[in-house]
Structure 1
Amino acid sequence: MSAASASSSQVNAENVHNRNIGIGDSDKNKTSSVKKKQDGNINSGTNTVIKVKSVIPRRRQDLLKWYGWGYKDSMFHLNDETASFTGDKYLLGGKTLPHFIPWAVQNLNIDASKQRKIPAVPSSYQESRLPHHVRQELEAIAPLSIEGMDRLIRAHGQTLSDMARLRTNTFPRIPDAVIWPDCHEHVVKIVDCATRHQFVIIPFGGGTSVSGSVTCPEREERPIVALDTSEMNSILWIDKEQLLARVQTGIVGQDLEREMRARGLTVGHEPDSYEFSTLGGWVATRASGMKKNTYGNIEDLVVQTKTVTPVGVLEKSCRVPRISCGPEWEHVIMGSEGCFGVVTEVTLKVRPLPPVTRYGSLVFPGWEAGVRFEREVAELRLQPASIRLMDNDQFRFGLALKTETTWGGVILDGLKHFYITRIKGFDPASLCVVTLLIEGHAEEVAERERRLNAIAAKYGGVPAGAANGERGYTFTFVIAYIRDLALDYDVVAESFETSVPWDRTLALCAGVKRRVRDECARRGVTHYHISCRLTQTYDAGCCIYFYFGFNTSAFKDPVTVYEEIEEAARDEIIDCGGSISHHHGVGKLRKKWYTDTVSEPGRRLLLAAKQTLDPDNIFALGNMAFNEGNQEETSIKSKL
């Protein structure tokens, strides 16, 4: 048996990708060429700018849910005793899920007969504080809106707290206006206007942040303008010889990848939020993607950035693969979370589209065996593009999303079930699953698969096929929709992640689960789900994702209860040697651990950079070490 079936040995990567995220063939040619803009003194080797037709319109509420995650036509539904998923953008679209309600009743004690609590569209919004003369000046630069729904949609990211406030329209502050620049020069003019008139700018990309980083500071007295980068989505040039591309930062991940694939190339950066997050957001949060083993994290892909700050444009004068003129200012911008300025353009590495894409899956008798397998694969640097390990609780959660009625859920069915449970003797209550995605030339893909199977066998691993691996991989793109359904049925749920050294991985996973269970018991939480998966591997450690949710029917303020339990879990993570985040950033949710993570001199260095680049606190987001409304402590001057 092989980790991927022979019938899947060669897959048209573009078609697989489009099917996974719902891009139809009709979208492939929605581009137009305009006169090329030169990138300084750089000879790009191309003739035209590619102005991308984005799948997401300026009025996001026309396509996306205003109150939650994703497309309006894509959601889970509970009808009598059957669950289903609507829309045609995902593999689950139009399918019934016979196992979902039994799982949700058993684990979360939901009442599927209750009427769903879909929130009503708000009837009123906060009045805009933007002075009329400033509004007129901004309208002369770029399109601007003070419409309530436009502003509300850009008042938040995707934290649980954001979603709760959004559903009740109880944000203390929302932006006073939204502006859509379409080029670097527009951003320069907008930032200059903000400096002269003293209003706050919040850069807004895809709105997928789960750290509170784009949430408006509650105590900010100045007007707040959300600078929506979505119109800055052109590909300025592509150099196929150098394998580089210059791209505006408002481009959405799925649009960027579609355009590259149409030209035989790929960026290969696929975070879980890739359908809706933007290139600028990836840079601002130091993002990581599911295929980082082959293509790298965002810091490995970025060659050059251009950032508009209140004191000028920050950009290296040369486009080179490496420079010893340090510190590396690109890394000051990567992870700055919008607090220094607006990233407008990025030069990225691209790669030829791999000729073969192969999925696979492996089943292990338990979590420890799976972790040890992943550790050896990392030690030998044999990781495929994606290799992820689900624990048994998450495996069972996957069963709930299976469309067929046979046993086995996302991973096992038929003869595989018989072989693994009867002949191999695996206990369904403890087995764990690894999903694989291997990309490259046919020979190297086959050899990588052979070596992975051999290593897996040392730890009792059994191959379980390509189709199961593909379902497991694409499961990532629908899991976020479950949170909206949960909120409608009195369940709060969220994920949080960390990075951890290999020698502490098992202890951290066990310790965090134990801490969550103890905190639930202390608060009287009786029906909950806690699971984890190992999503990315490195020489020195790995990334662990935790998923936690509970029934809230007994609590008046369930969001606060959730946040208290997650905070305790985060304390446990740090005590076990983990980080405050692997790729979600710090934002406002993880500020309490920032200084201990980077040291007091590190905090002061961050504040010094802020003082240099944004002395008037125009980008007053209040993330990381920056406090809201307390300029003395952050040593930032203010003209107020």
Structure 2
Amino acid sequence: MSIHNPEKHGPIVVESAIPKNRQELLKWNGWGYNDSMFIYKDGYVYFSGKRYPIGELRLPHVKEWVIDTLNIDITKPPKTLAVLEESKYPKPNITPENLKNIIDLNISYSTKVMDRVLRAHGQTLHDMFTLRNSVFERIPDIVLWPKCHNDVVKIVNLANEHNIVIIPFGGGTAVSGAVECPNNEQRSIISLDTSQMNRILWLDKANLIVCCESGIIGQDLERELGKLGFTSGHEPDSYEFSSLGGWVATRASGMKKNVYGNIEDLVVHVKMVTANGVLEKNCLVPRLSCGPDFNHIVMGSEGSLGVITEVVIKIRPLPECRKYGSIVFPNFELGVKCMREIAKNRCQPASVRLMDNDQFKFGLILKPEESYSSLIVDGIKKFYITKIKGFDPDQMCVMTLLFEGGEKEVKINERQIYSIASQFKGVPAGEKNGERGYTLTFVIAYIRDLALQYDVVAESFETSVPWDRAVTLVKNVKQTITEECKRIGVSHFMINSRVTQTYDAGCVIYFYLGFNHSNIGDPVTLHHQIETKARDEIIACGGSISHHHGVGKLRRKWYPSTVSNVGVNLYLATKQELDPKNIFATNNLVPSKL
């Protein structure tokens, strides 16, 4: 497809933040960069490296918190990190004939164990625990790195002809088990890594759209758009490592969706290679009324129907003004009521998030050691909030805000938000706290790696829920988890939550669950058992099985009851039409019946 516009830029070759050999920069058995992690030394916890604001700073409050909450002695030597033992993994299950056919495609490939293992998993607790303590039962037999749409067409055609399975692989950040190989799959499995398909093909300034290959990583996309004065505005927690194609495949949502929209609001056009041909529309228009929108067949398909190769999304000029803020509330319920009022008035800033008291306290333990003057200021703030305003430190919660837009718009929006907050006893808590709360999101994921070294497992899960059930859902889920932990003998655990996104009809709630599993059996099975109880309670309270993490294999148990048996059959009929041989045998959403 071509466009004729004198204000078009492209193609743009992008220097990827994630190299082809991922292990050179990223952990093979954990989250994020090799040089970024929580470590304990000289009596304190630190965060290594300088990629994040808390890098190389002492975190003096962590030690006491982990002792009190999780009953672990962080002063003891941590468990030694596992080394990848190549001999424990099977050799590639691929015939000489099929290997020759793949080589003849003239597309970069690898059958090395490290390359195959790196693409056998996402970022679930099961994935990380397996990498450190065991081996995967099934991994890809070969990795292919296509460089363009036509390369993908060649791969899919070959796989369809010779009955080879393809599992698309993007940034590797899935937390649903979506990229894991089905254990019972006997056919050869190709991991189709889209990381080398990372160009910006063109940018149309007049119509404010951009066409990118699906493998482009979020931070790379934003960097290159920023050079030209634009932004996509799509910023999921994983945007440093996740890909555009992955966002589309999982119906992703970003932290700034209030201004820029979710991925379904951003997508104009998608090109997906299926076993039955290429699925795409024939024009670039803002809206079509010609039957069901096939973009929505692609979005949320989780690699089960084909490979997304190119995506056209909307972009916006870089905002003139960017400003943070924060508000303290006496309790979680008042904070939620404030968020509801903000949503009702449709005056949400780019991002508005509410931490409950437990998560607020958890955030405080990650506060670096600061200067004496900063400690005095913090002391004055604490005195004002707890003494003068009478807030209970064991009940209060914090809302963090990010405003983006024109300076005049931001000022108006600020006045609206703080005025509404005052109706619910909210007290402004400053820009610094807002910025810290927002950026802290990117380092929280690293905590699990440290926890795993001290017999603590942790995971997050999310849901969307109607407004009138939000507070009840949080209360019931926490109670369910507490009761289940006691029943199975888990005595030291944490469960906290936050409201992360708001809509007219409801909101999104994240939960963070972690516990000490010393001497109580298989921690992954126990965690899954606890989370399953929590998910059942979420559904009983009117919540969804997922807001943006997708279904994958982890949550497919609840998929039929969510979409109905008719819905499942409709999906399977689509699968039969696009992939009659089940080449894309991911087993996501529902176990394949083909």
In structure 1, the residue matched to 2:216 is: 251
Match of 2:226 in 1: 261
Report Cα offsets for 1:202-258 as digits up to 9, x if no partner: 000000000001000000000101000000000000011100000000000000000
Q: Which amino acid aligns with 1:346?
A: V
Within 5 Å, give how 1:361-372 maps onto structure 2: 361-372=326-337
Q: CA RMSD in A?
A: 1.6
What SS is found at the alignment partner of 1:50? Answer: coil
Aligned equivalents of 2:100, 2:443: Cα separation in 1: 42
Q: 1:432 aligns with which of 384, 389, 397?
A: 397
- Matching residue of 1:354: 319
User: 2:83 pairs with 121, 143, 165, which one?
Assistant: 121
Of 91, 95, 116, the residue aligned with 1:131 is: 95
1:253-285 superposed Cα distances (whole Å, 9 cap, x missing partner)? 000000001110000000011000000000000
- Give me the whole-angstrom Cα distance separating, in 1, the residues matched to 2:133 and 2:374: 36
Describe the superposition over 1:462-504 as per-residue Cα deviations: whole angstroms up to 9, x where unpaired.
Answer: 0011111000000100000001111011000000000000010
Structure 2 counterpart of 1:609: 574
Distance 2:485 2:262 in 1: 35
Amino acid of the structure 1 residue aligned with 2:113: G
**Is 1:623–2:585 an aligned residue pair?**
no
d(CA) in 2 for partners of 1:111, 1:389: 31
Matched, 1:229 2:191: no
Structure 1 residue 543 corresponds to structure 2 residue 508 = yes
Shift of 1:407: 11
CA displacement, residues 445-469 of structure 1 (integer Å, 9 cap, x when unaligned): 0111011111111111000111110
CA distance in 2, matches of 1:115, 1:521: 28
Shift of 1:417: 1.4
Helix, strand or coil: the match of 2:507?
Answer: strand
- Corresponding residue SS for 1:427: coil
SS at match of 1:599: helix
SS in 2 for 1:456: helix
Does residue 71 (structure 1) correspond to residue 36 (structure 2)? The answer is no
1:70-469 maps to which residues of 2 (within 5 A)? 70-124=32-86, 125-139=89-103, 140-404=105-369, 413-469=378-434
Number of aligned residue pairs = 591
Deviation at 1:524, TM superposition (A): 1.1
Shift of 1:291: 0.3
> Contact 1:364–1:462 at 8 Å: present in 2 too?
yes
- Residues of 2 paired with 1:177 and 1:587: CA distance? 22
Contact 2:57 2:369 in 1 (8 A): no
How far apart in 1 are the matches of 2:527 and 2:304?
28
Q: Give 3-state SS (helix, strand or coil) of 1:51's partner.
A: coil
Contact 1:399 1:408 in 2 (8 A): no
Counterpart Cα distance in 2 of 1:453 and 1:193: 59
Q: In structure 1, what residue type is equivalent to 2:461?
A: F
Q: Give the drift of 1:554.
A: 2.1
Measure the CA separation in 2 of the matches of 1:494 and 1:134: 39
Q: What is the identity, as a one-letter code, of the residue corresponding to 1:93?
A: G
Give the letter for the 2:413 counterpart.
Answer: R
Shift of 1:372: 0.3
For the residue of structure 1 that corresponds to 2:8, the secondary structure is: coil
Distance 2:198 2:49 in 1: 26
Q: 5+ residue gaps in structure 1?
A: 1-38, 628-633
- 1:41 deviates by 5.8
Q: Give the drift of 1:166.
A: 1.3
Amino acid at match of 2:342: V
Residues 1:482 and 2:447 are matched in the alignment: yes
Deviation string for 1:506-547 (max 9, x for gaps)? 110000000000001101111000000000000000000000
Q: SS at 2:471's partner residue?
A: helix
**C-alpha distance in 1, partners of 2:134/2:513?**
25
* Alignment partners' CA distance in 2, 1:334 and 1:42: 28
Per the TM alignment, residue 419 of structure 1 is displaced from its structure 2 partner at its CA by 1.3
CA contact (8 A) 2:9 2:204 kept: no
Residues 124-161 of structure 1, C-alpha deviations (whole Å, 9 max, x = no match): 23211122332233233310001110110000000101
Alignment of 1:59 onto 2:21: yes
Partner of 1:158: helix, strand, or coil?
coil
Greater mean deviation of Cα atoms: 134-143 or 276-285: 134-143
Give the whole-Å Cα distance in 2 for the aligned partners of 1:405 and 1:47.
Answer: 46
Could you say which residue in structure 2 is the equivalent of 1:10?
A: none
Other-structure match for 2:8: 46
> 2:36 touches 2:47 (CA, 8 Å); kept in 1?
yes
The structural deviation recorded for 1:406 is 8.6
Give yes or no for contact 2:490–2:520 (8 Å, CA) kept in 1: no
Separation (CA, whole Å) in 1 of partners of 2:11 and 2:83:
39
Q: CA deviation at 1:164?
A: 1.1
Secondary structure of 1:413's counterpart equals helix
Structure-1 separation of matches of 2:413 and 2:312: 31
| Distance in 2 of aligned mates of 1:183 and 1:153 | 22
Identity percentage over the alignment? 59
Q: Distance in 2 between matches of 1:474 and 1:239?
A: 31
User: Could you tell me how far 1:196 is from its partner in structure 2?
Assistant: 1.2
Contact 1:164 1:559 (C-alpha < 8 Å) held by counterparts: yes
Work out whether residues 398 and 409 of structure 1, in 8 Å CA contact, stay in contact via their aligned partners in 2: no
CA contact (8 A) 2:107 2:144 kept: yes
2:509 alignment partner, SS class: strand
TM-score of the pair, normalised by structure 2: 0.97
d(CA) in 2 for partners of 1:468, 1:245 = 34
SS in 1 for 2:82: coil
Question: Residue 472 of structure 1 aligns to a residue in which SS?
Answer: helix
For 1:113 and 1:413, how far apart are their aligned partners in 2?
A: 28
- Following superposition of structure 1 onto structure 2, how do residues 477-516 of structure 1 map, counting pairs within 5 Å? 477-516=442-481
Task: Render the CA deviation track for 1:285-316: whole Å, top value 9, x for unaligned.
Answer: 00000000000000000000000000000000
2:560, 2:4 → 1: CA distance?
A: 40
Deviation at 1:116, TM superposition (A): 1.6
Letter in 2 for 1:609: T
TM-score (norm 1): 0.90
Does the C-alpha gap of structure 1 residues 189 and 545 become closer, same or farther in structure 2, counting only changes over 3 Å?
same
Amino acid at match of 1:612: E
In structure 2, the residue matched to 1:582 is: 547
C-alpha displacement of 1:121: 2.0
Which amino acid in the other structure matches residue 58 of structure 1?
K
Residue type of the partner of 1:103?
W
How far, CA to CA, are the matches of 1:464 and 1:505 in structure 2?
24
Work out the CA distance in 1 between the residues paired with 2:341 and 2:577: 45
CA offsets, 1:612-632, max 9 Å, x none? 0000000000010234xxxxx
Whole-Å separation in 2 of the counterparts to 1:308 and 1:470? 41
Question: 164-173 or 349-358: which moved more?
Answer: 164-173
Query: How far does the alpha carbon of each residue in 1:403-437 deviate from its partner, in whole angstroms, 9 at most, with x for none?
Result: 12699999x81322121111111111110000000
Equivalent pair of 1:141/1:189 in contact (CA under 8 Å): no
Name which of structure 1's ranges 416-425 and 576-585 shifts more when overlaid on structure 2.
Answer: 416-425
Q: Distance in 1 between matches of 2:371 and 2:16?
A: 40
